[in-house]
Amino acid sequence: MAARRRLHDDRVARSATLNRFDPSGLVVYLDGDYLDGSEARISIWDHGLLYGDGIFEGIRLFDGSLFRPRDHLARLARSAQALGLELPLGAEQLLGVIGEVVVRSGLRDAHVRPIVTRGFGAPGVDPSRCERPSLIVSAYPFPPLLGSEPISVLVSSVVPVDGSDPSSGIALYFSPFSKALVTGACLPDGLFRTQSD
């Protein structure tokens, strides 16, 4: 019971810290420009925001080293291919941008998030309404969470729905993207999280 209480207290403390997140001083790459995190903006007409039409990766930085960056960028490329989305930069160029964001932000332990959206365009789900994709790379401090102490694990009753099941009425995961991450794919993670609290 004490371990469960400690986990709850840690979660509450972490939540309070996240609610006070200040991105100033962190550097964000946005479509060719490096900006202060507090000044980075995307248009409300970006199809990534309007329709969830985009892809992302989450790459950990541990003690100044990216964890398996080429594997992550290969998955980003597969994700882009699955959506018919053109990547604005090649893998090595993108890796350079990621490194620059990390260095300019002065980070050693972080979470790095490259995001590619369909980009700015007229409303409507037709991808041809967007001239070019948008690329955003951000990074924020993310120290190792687990440490060396044992942790509790929850097996959630929330089951991802396979998009091939027409009777479900909702598609949370899409089977063609099993090795891809699309921006709308985090909904089950949020459900898992709320169930664990």
What pLDDT score was predicted for residue 15?
59
Three-state DSSP state, 177: helix
What lies within 8 Å, CB to CB, of 4 at 6+ separation is 152
| pLDDT band at residue 184 using 50, 70 and 90 as cut-offs | low
Question: What is the CB neighbour count within 10 angstroms for residue 30?
Answer: 17
The rounded percent of the chain whose pLDDT value lies above 90 is 53
Domains of the chain: 24-144 (3.30.470.10), 152-197 (no CATH)
The rounded percent of the chain whose pLDDT value lies above 70 is 66
What pLDDT score was predicted for residue 36?
97
What pLDDT score was predicted for residue 87?
97
Question: What is the CB neighbour count within 10 angstroms for residue 61?
Answer: 22
Q: Which helix (H) or strand (E) element contains residue 134? A: strand 134-141
Question: Is the confidence at residue 78, as pLDDT, over 60?
Answer: yes
What pLDDT score was predicted for residue 70?
95
Amino acid identity for residue 138 in this structure? S
Question: Is the confidence at residue 44, as pLDDT, over 90?
Answer: yes
Q: Tokens representing 60?
A: 């950990």
Q: Which residues of 127-161 are buried (b: 16+ CB within 10 A; e: fewer)?
A: beebeebbbbbbbeeeeeeeeeeeeeeeeeebeee
Question: What is the CB neighbour count within 10 angstroms for residue 113?
Answer: 17
Would you report the helix, strand and coil content of the chain in percent, each value rounded to 5?
40, 20, 40
| pLDDT band at residue 6 using 50, 70 and 90 as cut-offs | low
Question: Is the confidence at residue 1, as pLDDT, over 90?
Answer: no
